Structure 1
Amino acid sequence: MDLYEIRGGRLDVIAEEAPSGEEYQELGRESATMEPFLVAAGRGGRATRDVSTFQRFSINTNESLHFEPCEDGTEIAKTRSKLQEKVAEMENFAGHLEEIFLTVEENFGRQEQHLEQHYNDVLQTLSQRYDDRAAGLEEEKKSKLEALYNQLVACGRTLDASKELIEAAQELYRSEDKRLVLKVVLVFFAKEEVDLTLSTPLEFKTPLADLSDVKTMMDSINIVPAPSAPVINPQMPNSATQTSLRVCWSLFSDDTVEYYELYYRPVLEDTPVKETHCTVKDLLPNAQYELWVTATNTTGISPAGEKALYMTVPSPPVIKQRECTSCPEAALIRWDSGNTNPVDSYTVELSEMGTDGSQSNITESVVAVPTCQCLIQLQRGRRYLISVRAVNIGGPSERSEALTVSTTGTFFHLLEDTAHPCLSISEDGFTMFYGDEELPLSAMAFDDNTFARCVAVLGDLIPVRGRHYWEVEVDDLTEFRIGVAYEDTQRNSYLGANSSSWCMRHILTPCRHKYEFLHDGWSPDLRITVNPVRLGVALDYEKGTLSFFNVDLEQHLHTFHCHFQNYVHPCFALDNPGALTVHNGIEAPEYAFI
């Protein structure tokens, strides 16, 4: 038997001595007997020990392999493996041939349809030329017949006049007056001569028909058909900017194309190009565009390809400085997307600044940030420049305006959305004012997040467990409360009067200044002899302590001991008109965390 093996695109023949008729029948019976063993070996990856070794093989019409027993099992196993590889190659080649067959059939159908269309166009053109030529000949025939008929009528009238003249001449000739005869004859000859030539030529005008356009159409049938519809490739990552897109497409390899036209929405413009790619400019940032392509050659224009969606790069985000917080170990950066359409993710980039204000050449990135905020781990006592990029399939946006972050101390702003309506927050977000004028309840706007009973406000402390320190400056005639509270502390309660807040309270009495350290409505009995003007607050999550200090005297006032289960916020309240200023971003003194 002969086996065919495909290697490198050619067909090799493996020849084996063909068995005789009896041997072939016997071989078929033995092959059929061994077929189950072969299937079991193929499934398990190797033959079982109960199966004998194999010597010969044959291929039936159903492409099954059958083997006969022999003594050398290793050699036959190799042969079987090799044949299985050959069968797989042949199956792959058959699949490839099937794809080629389908492609040829599809191309033939397109060519046949194209040829039929062209011949119909040629026949229609020739039929139109025939109708035009026949109408012209009919008009020429009509004019010739009319001219000949008019000439025939004129000849008839002339003949009648000639007969009358001859009869008159004969009557005069019989008379005796010869002079009268001569006079009539002279009058006859004085008349104009009759035109005996044809008024119109008998030949028809037969100008050569201009069939150059028909020849061009016939020639185009034998040259190239109109191209098939191009297919736009899916958008590749980083293939766009804020205002441009790089678009690529594909076409059948056997099509001849002179140029392409790219269409896109919402601008609805077309752009002729020669290559199978194009950069479209003057677009909107972070916008989706629908694109399609047509191909053109001397024969015509292809159908429009399937539409594809491309996106331009987003606009750079806008960092919200008032909502960014930091501490010696980390920074929480918040920003606005800056885009109406959603983006895939954000990238936060940071570079360290030197003591002289110079920027490092090394930039670190935090990629694939899904939301508009990111908590970044930093090194203590450094300064960083931080910026944000928005990312979609088109690529990353330009950097946002950089934000300078210092890890010297804890930095935060007052949260205006939590402030009591009687409080005013300064533009820098660090000072709160309680005016003398009392507002009626009807003029106050409360919501679920604002303090309703205590004239208080929360600070936006970074959610990092560690050590935090800030200072508060207030005059000695102002009654205040300062400390920490959980984010969900009761808004219709006073700070320190519940289990979710811890605070130091200053009260003015007729005889002295009174200080309380309140939690859940209870305070130890303490007396402070020197009124502090600048207070330090030290929060230590690890030790579970909240301490208060007189900064001017470096004096410890009181420490709360509590295991804070959740993150807390700095809290500040004024019990009478006055002002309070928060100083943060400063390094904690050594005595704060002893």
Structure 2
Amino acid sequence: MDDQKESLRKITNTLALKNEEIQNFICCLKQSLLNLEANSNRVQEDLEGEFSSLYSTLDELKEGMITRIKQERASRTYELQNQLSACTKALESSEELLEVTNQTLCSSNADGFIQAAKDIKDSVTMAPAFRLSLKAKASDNMSHLMVDFSQEREMLRAIKFLPVPTTPEIQASDCLVCDNTVTVVWSLPEPDAKIDHYVLEHRRTNHEGPPRVREDYPWMVVEGIRQTEYTLTGLRFDTRFMTFRVKACNKAVAGEFSEPVNLETFAFLFKLDSGSAHQNLRVEDMNVEWDSCGGKVQEIKKDKGRTGSPMNSPARVAPGMSPKRAPSARVGRDRFTAESYTVLGDTMIDAGQQYWEVRFDKESKAFAVGVALRTLGKFDQLGKSGASWCLHLNNWLQQSLTAKHNNKARTLDCPIPDRIGVYCNYEEGILSFYNGKTKQQIHTFRTKFPQPILPAFMVWNGSFSVQTGLQVPSIVQCGQKRNSDASSSNASLT
């Protein structure tokens, strides 16, 4: 019994020491809670003091950081309060166990002492006090949430209005208009490292002077240009000029637009003359389709509905060129008839170099593209008289591509392209046909045109579309220069 009492006393002493440690730890936890509250308040006050010196744009950041502090405080408070509650319960349990132990030690009942001592020993062994961690699960230190806005404040004090970017100047002499593209080049009076990008605006116009208050075409905008030049591609030149202006922008403000510059966009522009079209050809703008049920009545109605839109503006040509708009109906002649399934362009060529392209249905039974004199008879088929020159696709029975003039034909050994480019140099008497995609030359007529000529087209059981407003491609011009001194291999057709 004495041994058991000694063992129980040791256990009781150990428990008492543990209770003392728990009490000390509880005091620490309580102080930590007080410190946490005080430190949290101080951090929040400091944060609010820092934010009070900043602009309202920092409010969102401020609220976010306050939320972070509150969340941190709530999280630590939760951990510490849970730990405090567990320690308090363990202490209460230990005190109750100590009281039972003392009562047992004072008992004189020897019979019940052994069993009571055994129960107390088991209870002490399982006491919650021995399962507690006496290390705080959360720190009361909130210094990691302190802020220092000294550098930011200095940065804010240094903020000034950004200077307005200087106005660029378009270098008209360096700008380039070719191949239906326009490259615009500009410069700044002095370097400006704060410029972020440029904004280029352009619009088509038929007026050479400065921009007017009312124009037929709106400004088109190109943003985010990082260099001092920009190239517009895939254009169709159906006006005399294109007007350009540019402004510089930094991160906060845009400067003034440069003085507008007009660049001449010379190109050959024409429409299809529906008044000349065979009654079986349905002409809609620049598209033509074979119509076996077509008739003159429908075409007359279509002509009446034609408007004076900018698409019907005068032809655009390079300096020195003088295409002339032909009357809507050929003087003294009706539209083409019989088997002459032909339609002409409405603009005469009597000078300069011109270029246009045509895309045709390869399944057409017959198709032809070329030029013709205005005196071409209404029964004449393209290439079958001296008044027309053409490239002819025959898709009847056997497919063939031939060059035709004055009822003479030369078969061409080349793949049939998706579209055909037509080049005409009136003074030199050159009419060349090209693969519209690769710009590979297909055939060239060399002749002397006795009078102004018109673009001419023929289709039977098929369709085609014409693209005008095109400049002579550079590759075509270069090829023509290389061949200017070479003799023609097509003399029999001229």
Q: TM-score, normalised by structure 2?
A: 0.37
Q: What is the TM-score with the length of structure 1 in the denominator?
A: 0.31
Name which structure has the greater RCO, CA cutoff 8 Å, separation 6+. Answer: 2
More strand by proportion, 1 or 2?
1
More helix by share: 2
